[in-house]
Amino acid sequence: EGLINQSRSRLLFSSNKEELKKALASFSEKTSKLNDFQSNAYKITSVAAPSANKIEKTSPIKTSPVKPAHERFKYLAESPSTSLLLPVKYKILCEMFQSMDTVVSILNNRKEKITFEKVKEGVQKMMK
């Protein structure tokens, strides 16, 4: 619109007829270019429809088998873990403390004296 307004203002305030003719020719040329562009912008080109005879077969090696929905969305049904995962060294240490707790509770239930030797032996047996 700025170009159109600028051309109109030049036409209205110019005193030379030759300048007016040139401006009018330029304006009409640019208007026709704009109309051509707008009419070409909305033309739809024909698209070839895919033929029904051409069915591409995929090899079972390249495509993965489709899993049933209960396997694909299993994670949605399970409750998320609230605890963080421990590194392997800490998992082993945690298992050792749990087995030590178990050994101490067994010895306490038997009303035996709890010594380091008994706990060590019991933990080693449980860790195997």
Which of these, 100, 107, 105, lies nearest to 127 by C-alpha position? 100
Distance of CA 124 to CAs 99, 115, 119, Å?
A: 9, 14, 9
Average per-residue pLDDT for the chain = 82
Which candidate, 106, 128, 127, places its Cα nearest to that of 118? 106
Given a contact cutoff of 8 angstroms between Cβ atoms, the answer to whether 5 and 12 are in contact is: no
- pLDDT above 90: percentage of residues in the chain: 31
Structure tokens, 35? 């109309």
Question: What gap in Å lies between CA 84 and CA 13, rounded to an integer?
Answer: 80
Question: In this model, does residue 5 exceed pLDDT 80?
Answer: no
What is the C-alpha separation between 104 and 102, in angstroms, rounded? 5
Instruction: Compute CA distances 56 → 48, 49, 51, 52, 94, whole Å.
Output: 17, 16, 11, 10, 55
pTM score over 0.95 = no
Task: Return the top range by mean pLDDT from 19-33, 70-84, 94-108.
Answer: 94-108
Q: Please give the average per-residue pLDDT across 69-76, as a whole number.
A: 87
Q: What is the pLDDT of residue 58?
A: 64
The dihedral through the CA atoms of 57, 62, 67, 69 has a sign that is negative
Share of the chain above pLDDT 70, in %: 77
